[in-house]
Amino acid sequence: MEQQTISIAKAGVHATLNARCAILAAANPVGGRYDRRLTLRQNVAMSAPILSRFDLFFVVLDDANETADYNTARHIVAVHQQRAQTAPHFGPAALRRFVAYARTLQPTLPEDAARLLWQSYCALRQDDAGPARNSYRITVRQLESLIRLSEALARAHCSEVISVAHVREAVRLLRRSIVHVEMDDIPIIDEPEKDADAEAEASTPIRREDFERIRAMVALHLHEAEQRGTEGLRRDDVIDWYLSQREDEMADEEALERETKHAAAVLRYMSTVEGCVIALQNAKGEGDDDEEQGESEGEHPRGPLLMLHPNFSISS
């Protein structure tokens, strides 16, 4: 797609043809409704390599808004009511002439615009350091996207030179695309105390960014354990490992308690809701003592044995 070519291999013929065109794709979310708790990739069920080849993404949500709904309805009714009087500002012939002329331009990239491209790309990479912030990872492809967008904006303005304003607008478009829908917090039901007689289940909201960070760290740890040949890890062992990784960022006991609670809640969510983690209650793992295992029907004191689902992708 980004090379603007198409390869054909059929009946012994191998050819590469030019395909200089823009690709506009539309996708419906899985289940017919956009889930704010999930990322764009999870909503449209597309692979990362395919997503990375598109320059811009825009999520169109049909949220109820009295003002927007009124203006939309008023416009549609006016179009039908005054159909004979409706005339576009530019006709198809004028647009075709404009596009044909703009495509003949080959804008050049001056030093100041190039410097801004470098700085903007580095800033995007730094913003991408945290998990769950963007709809996809920032790579060199996004730098190429910035260059293509800057060139397209220069052509749209019939300019033979890419200006700083064109680069800034390209960066704004890319940022608006990758930092899209504000995802809702993850409501996770707290695990009731064993001795407590809770009448109602309490829910603990976890910020989406924190949820994705814990989820990614836990999934990677379980995956690495599986690669070493370990058949699952105990829940409390996974939580202890996570706390050891976050030790420098916990200032007091309150932070320790909060991180412990969040880690346990995310593990439970991954097991019971997402199904990406399999929890084996009565299985015996490596390093378990017979005394620790207890009765065959009883729960292990350090929690169930956790392992990743075979169909789970570590990059999802």
User: For residue 136, what pLDDT is reported?
Assistant: 58
CA neighbours closer than 13 Å in the CB half-sphere of residue 134: 22
In eight-state DSSP terms, residue 191 is P
| pLDDT at residue 7 is higher than 60 | yes
Contact 128, 143 (CB under 8 A): no
User: For residue 132, what pLDDT is reported?
Assistant: 46
By residue count, the chain amounts to 316
In whole angstroms, what is the distance from residue 244 CA to residue 303 CA? 18
The 10s digit of each residue's pLDDT in 255-292 is 888 888 888 888 888 888 888 888 887 666 555 555 55
Q: Which residues sit opposite 34 in a β-bridge?
A: none
Share of residues in the chain with pLDDT > 70 (%): 80
Share of residues in the chain with pLDDT > 90 (%): 22
User: For residue 113, what pLDDT is reported?
Assistant: 94
* Ramachandran sector of residue 11 (left: φ over 0; alpha: ψ -120 to 50; beta: rest): left
Mean pLDDT is lowest, of 4-8, 104-108, 139-143, 191-195, for 191-195
User: For residue 198, what pLDDT is reported?
Assistant: 47
User: For residue 202, what pLDDT is reported?
Assistant: 57
User: For residue 93, what pLDDT is reported?
Assistant: 93
Residue range 217-233: average pLDDT? 88
User: For residue 286, what pLDDT is reported?
Assistant: 58
Which helix (DSSP H) or strand (DSSP E) does residue 5 occupy? strand 5-10
* Ramachandran sector of residue 197 (left: φ over 0; alpha: ψ -120 to 50; beta: rest): beta
In the structure, what pLDDT confidence band is assigned to residue 199 with cuts at 50, 70 and 90? Answer: very low
In the structure, what pLDDT confidence band is assigned to residue 16 with cuts at 50, 70 and 90? Answer: confident
In eight-state DSSP terms, residue 85 is G
Query: Would you state the structure tokens that stand for residue 39, as one six-digit string?
Result: 């990322």
In whole angstroms, what is the distance from residue 22 CA to residue 156 CA? 14
Helices (H), 5-139: 40-44, 48-51, 66-81, 92-103, 111-127
Residue range 105-121: average pLDDT? 93
In whole angstroms, what is the distance from residue 173 CA to residue 120 CA? 12
Domains and CATH numbers, the chain: 5-178 (3.40.50.300), 186-308 (1.20.58.870)
The 10s digit of each residue's pLDDT in 72-91 is 999 889 888 877 666 778 88
Among residues 171, 183, 213, which one has the least CA distance to residue 41?
A: 183
The 10s digit of each residue's pLDDT in 151-166 is 999 999 999 999 999 9
In whole angstroms, what is the distance from residue 271 CA to residue 2 CA? 39
Structure pTM?
Answer: 0.60
